[in-house]
Amino acid sequence: MSHSPNFLREFHFWYEITIFIISWVLGWMVLLLIMFKTPRSFRGYSHMIALNTVVDLIYSLTDLITMETVDLHGGILYMFPANPYFPTNIISARWASSFWIFALYMTIMALPMQFMYRYGLLCRDKPFTAKHLAGTFGSSLVYLAIHCYIFKFTFKSPSPFYTKILAENPIYTNDMPSDYIAGDARELNAMFVHFADCNLIIIVCYGAVFWFGYQISQTLKRTMGSLSKQTAAAQKHITRIMALQALYPLISLVIPTGAIALYPLIASPRQMIQLGFFGCISMNLIPILNPLSVLLVIPIEKNLSNFHTPSNLFLSNITLSIFHGADFLSQNDFFQQAMVQIRQALPNLEDAGYIMGLVRELAEFEKMPDHVKIDEKTMAADLERDAVRVKLAFVNGKIAGMALYFYIYSSWEGQSIHMEDLYIKNEFRRQGLARLLVKELAKEASEKKMPRINWTVLDWNTNARNFYHKIGAVNLTEKEGWLGYRLTSDGIKALATES
């Protein structure tokens, strides 16, 4: 390809280099945060962010190597690598265009995966597994690979006829690329089918986004009443952010891509439009916009009041982004980023299974695993007859902890609550869930005008004892001298049968 002082060609060259540098700096910042600042409870969602980031990096690198350019003339679409250092031959041009199209549409196919993941957490009894997600994305890529492989054979090589038409564009009149390929869709042929398939991919991907998004919004509407005010507000915020994350690729990437693929099917003969050149410029912004949405957009709303200088604001937005951990994130931040749901356990085997799983873990923690004598059926029956009540905590659809309790009676002050078990799974500890569960019991006690919530704790469990002191609980042994006694089954039997 000959060198030219053409302003737009020069602008395009330096624009591609600038976009690549910025996108790779931002993309690697996101990946480093994922690797070093993500707790186990958020690895699933961070993997979705990582997937989008890696896809963006691949697209950005492919675009730097090829600097692929598109031109539209009526029913003809021209593609060629505009990088002056790229090999100038028709074979290289075909492969470059195929890889560029693959990377471009891969960014579109990655978008529904976040929505699918969140749909699995909120709308399904069991979230999608890694195999489900990998299988869905992998199948999409296989379809795309077939599309891009066939793509090479649907485009035609340079010819005097196509060169004459391309020369009508003033950008290329005096700087004609010699390695272009031409997709001629003026007749119902393989090229026509190719363009139609391009639009089909876009329609299916965004159809999935809209369907998953609708189901997520409906689920949130139904469950808002069972969420804490803090969590409900957080979910509304996250929903707005997800809508934004779907909107800007639609404007910057999907609409230009779809228009470029649609134009040859509907354009009048020899009608020239610069949509291809400027559409490519718009599409190449995606590897910058995606990481910026993670680093800045998601947390910016809650940080503006705390940080005033530009540098502090930028750093705060990075560290308080979605890749958070208990070591540097407050409880409020946890609830704003996670889907935390507290609900009353139902008298069925599924909830009884959650409860007994936590009971057994707690028994292991308390070094008394052999003391658990009941099973799921017994627990479900006891829930049914209101012998026991349980508040279950879920984080992103996964069981995280519980507060198991029942009503007791004080001859001095009347009906009260006894909390038998308060347990949080290890990966969800130090995030404020225990406090949230006890707070739910306090609300119930307050609503029923119960004056007390009683519980016991092992003397060696210093973390639990410190937590209870922080929430204002009183050590009855120290303050009032109470000691706990228990009559076990053997003692009960002996006493009951005593003559």
| Interval 37-60: pLDDT, tens | 665 545 566 778 888 889 999 999
- For 70, counting Cβ atoms within 10 Å of its Cβ (0-12 exposed, 13-18 middle, 19+ buried), the class is buried
Quick check: helix, strand or coil at residue 497?
coil
What's the pLDDT score for residue 180?
Answer: 85
What's the pLDDT score for residue 234?
Answer: 57
Q: Which residues pair with 453 in a beta bridge?
A: 417
Cα separation, 429 vs 481, whole angstroms? 31
Q: What percent of the chain has pLDDT over 70?
A: 78
Domain with CATH 3.40.630.30 in the chain: 340-455
Tell me the pLDDT band of 494, cut-offs 50, 70 and 90: confident
Residue 248 pLDDT greater than 80, yes or no: no
pTM for the full model?
A: 0.62
* Cβ–Cβ < 8 Å for 144, 201: yes
Handedness of CA 58, 62, 65, 70 (dihedral sign): negative
Quick check: helix, strand or coil at residue 328?
coil
Residue 263 pLDDT greater than 80, yes or no: no
Read off the pLDDT of residues 336-386 as tens digits, 9 standing for 90 and up: 445 678 899 999 999 999 999 999 999 999 889 888 999 999 999 999 999
Read off the pLDDT of residues 416-475 as tens digits, 9 standing for 90 and up: 999 999 999 988 888 788 999 999 999 999 999 999 999 999 889 899 999 999 999 988
Residue 414 pLDDT greater than 60, yes or no: yes
Cα separation, 49 vs 52, whole angstroms? 5
Residue 62 pLDDT greater than 90, yes or no: yes
The one-letter amino acid code at 321 reads S
Cα separation, 57 vs 67, whole angstroms? 15
What's the pLDDT score for residue 208?
Answer: 93
Least confident of 265-274, 277-286, 416-425: 265-274
Tell me the pLDDT band of 300, cut-offs 50, 70 and 90: very low
CA 264 vs CA 182, 193, 205: distances in Å: 11, 11, 22
Structure tokens at 37: 């600042």
Quick check: helix, strand or coil at residue 168?
coil
Tell me the pLDDT band of 245, cut-offs 50, 70 and 90: low
Which of 84-93, 234-243, 289-298 is most confident?
A: 84-93
Q: What percent of the chain has pLDDT over 90?
A: 30
Domain 7-315 sits in CATH 1.10.510.10: no
Which of 29-33, 59-63, 237-241 is most confident?
A: 59-63
CA angle 210, 211, 216 (to 5 degrees): 95
User: Taking each helix axis from N to C terminus, what angle separates 90-123 and 190-223, rounded to the nearest 10 degrees?
Assistant: 20
Domain 340-455 sits in CATH 3.30.2040.10: no
CA dihedral of residues 135, 140, 141, 146 (deg, nearest 10): 130
Residue 306 pLDDT greater than 50, yes or no: no
Domain with CATH 1.20.1070.10 in the chain: 7-315
Cα separation, 284 vs 40, whole angstroms? 33
Residues 6+ apart with CB under 8 A from 263: 72, 77, 273, 275
